[in-house]
A and B are shown apart, each in its own frame.
Chain A
């Protein structure tokens, strides 16, 4: 069983929420097929992702999807937020969680959109991933515990 502990102080307005280290890259099948064609892929670059129970899907910034050369499998899907409705891309990705022993996901669809006030490598981990985990929030201890 994998496990991760994330600090989160919900009383601190500057604390964005529980953040987890994440590595997103092309799925192994895409990389293997691409290399046969001579395609090159960038080294994995870890980033901090926000655990977001309000997101039904996992979303990354379009710039990061482009940087990773993620394989695109659809365009134009609709995401709705409080701020409006946006069109996004869909990409085949593999996801791992460095500094934890949570299991990696070898192939999942992630969505890319333009994060307006966020750094270029923004990521929200949505319920498509969270549904695989048991998540406990210890409010007094300011701790989020994830087990898979």
Chain B
């Protein structure tokens, strides 16, 4: 059975979301497997750089902004 991309990382995000909402609403977090890169980041660009520094680009890592609900993007 094919694994869903970033399923582990999204699970870690879900497990920590409430705590991160209190401390870091709107900031970006970086996760690979169950490892969370140290710190929260103001921009996607900063988070990307931190992710590359921590994990490299041999495998993907999740960059996600801390919001209460999942954002929905509109294209019309």
Chain A interface helix/strand/loop/mixed: strand
Q: How far is the CB of A78 from chain B (nearest CB, A)?
A: 5
Which residue of the partner chain B has the closest CB to A89? B5
Determine whether the beta carbon of B63 is less than 8 Å from that of A73.
yes
A-B contact count (CB 8 A): 86
**A109 vs B64: C-alpha distance in the bound complex, in angstroms?**
11
Chain B interface helix/strand/loop/mixed: mixed
Tell me, yes or no, whether A98 is within 8 Å of chain B by CB.
Answer: no
Q: Which residues of B contact A33 (CB under 8 A)?
A: 52, 56-57
Q: Which residues of A contact B72 (CB under 8 A)?
A: 78-80, 85
Which residue of the partner chain B has the closest CB to A106? B45
Q: How many residues of A contact B (CB 8 A)?
A: 35
Q: Which residues of B contact A109 (CB under 8 A)?
A: 44, 63
Q: How many residues of B contact A (CB 8 A)?
A: 25
Q: Which residues of A contact B64 (CB under 8 A)?
A: 74
Residue-wise interface mask of B (36-54) relative to A, using a CB-CB cutoff of 8 A (1 in contact, 0 not): 0000000011001101100
**A78 vs B72: C-alpha distance in the bound complex, in angstroms?**
5
Interface members, chain B 15-74 (any A CB < 8 Å): 44-45, 48-49, 51-52, 56-58, 60-64, 70-74
Determine whether the beta carbon of B75 is less than 8 Å from that of A124.
yes
Q: Which residues of B contact A124 (CB under 8 A)?
A: 75
Q: Which residues of A contact B57 (CB under 8 A)?
A: 30, 33-34, 37, 39, 71
Determine whether the beta carbon of B52 is less than 8 Å from that of A29.
yes
Of A52, A71, A92, which is in contact with the most chain B CB atoms at under 10 Å from its CB?
A92
**A90 vs B64: C-alpha distance in the bound complex, in angstroms?**
10
Q: Which residues of A pack against B, CB within 8 Å? A: 27, 29-30, 33-34, 37, 39, 52, 54-57, 59, 71-82, 85, 90, 92, 106-109, 111, 124, 126
Q: Apart from A30-B52, A33-B56, what are 16 other A-B pairs with CB-CB below 8 Å?
A: A33-B52, A39-B57, A55-B75, A55-B76, A72-B5, A73-B51, A74-B6, A76-B5, A76-B6, A78-B72, A79-B74, A81-B74, A81-B76, A92-B63, A107-B48, A109-B44
